[in-house]
Structure 1
Amino acid sequence: MKKYFYIRSALSVILLMHSVVSIFSGDVNNFGRLYLDTIGFSPFGIYLAWIVKLIHLFSVFLIWSDRWVKIVSVGNIPILMLGIYFLHWQNGWYVVGGGTNGIEFNVLLICCFLQLIFTEYPSLKKVKSSS
């Protein structure tokens, strides 16, 4: 069994749903044009939105195939941190319950990715030679 199977599975499902749904619904275009462009990223808002969604989508397949998991984690953490800064911070901590659209979910995802970064993978360890 792969290390941290449940964390990797949860991250994969979350990234898959977050990317695929917004791509097919057209929300990624709206996010780029109607939000990112208006907060100062114009004329690159739509491109940034697509880059984020494609990184999330490709991350799913890399996590499932156990390839470049640390790089995927390092790539997704800044996206989540920028999401906290630009979108969620002003809404407080809670996603639901004590508030809406807060930072708690992003913080949890960042912690999950940090776990993957600091996990030792047997294939990456150097084999000690016996002398």
Structure 2
Amino acid sequence: MVVRIAVAAMFVIHGVARVWYEAVGPFGPFLESRGLPFGLAWAWAVTIIEIVGGTLLALGRYTAPLACYFIIQTALGIWWVHWKAGWFVVGLGRNGMEYSVLIIACLVAVLLGKK
């Protein structure tokens, strides 16, 4: 339960920050640059799923499908953004994939711990 709530909070905070700092708009063209049509619509969908889905995950609702969705979303983030920066997020590198790999491990733990 602790891991589920903590990882869910990370997604909620990520989505809220994207709205708060008006980063949904720039996220749309980024998604289009990766081949997704209607990038702004995707950006809003991802953001809303992070906020609403993260809240539901924290509450223990729709745990398996949300964990699977967030694993895919995080894996895409690794592929599209973090892989080229290497492993480390800070210290020996910048913007790497270590945090994302940990998030995926937490989501797998949530799936394995689901009753």
TM-score normalised by L of structure 2? 0.91
1:74 equivalent to 2:32? Answer: no
Identity %: 32
Q: CA RMSD in A?
A: 1.4
Runs (5+) with no aligned partner, structure 1: 122-131
Partner of 1:118: 112
Task: Return the alpha-carbon distance in structure 2 between the equivalents of residues 81 and 52 of structure 1.
Answer: 14
Pairing 1:45-124 to 2, within 5 Å after superposition:
45-121=39-115
Runs (5+) with no aligned partner, structure 2: none
Task: Return the alpha-carbon distance in structure 1 between the equivalents of residues 104 and 114 of structure 2.
Answer: 18
- Quote how far apart the aligned CAs of 1:24 are: 2.0
Task: Write out per-residue CA displacement over residues 45-101 of structure 1, whole angstroms, 9 at most, x where no aligned residue.
Answer: 111111211111112221232111111101111100000000111000011011111
Number of residue pairs matched by the alignment? 115
Higher relative contact order (CA 8 A, sep 6+): 2
Check 1:27–1:85 CA distance in 2 against 1; reply closer, same or farther (3 A cut): same
Partner of 1:39: 34
Task: Return the alpha-carbon distance in structure 1 between the equivalents of residues 46 and 104 of structure 2.
Answer: 15
Partner of 2:15: 19
Letter paired with 1:20: V
Task: Return the alpha-carbon distance in structure 1 between the equivalents of residues 71 and 34 of structure 2.
Answer: 21
Partner of 1:28: 24
Please say which structure displays the higher CA radius of gyration. 1
Task: Return the alpha-carbon distance in structure 2 between the equivalents of residues 38 and 118 of structure 1.
Answer: 35
Check 1:71–1:39 CA distance in 2 against 1; reply closer, same or farther (3 A cut): closer
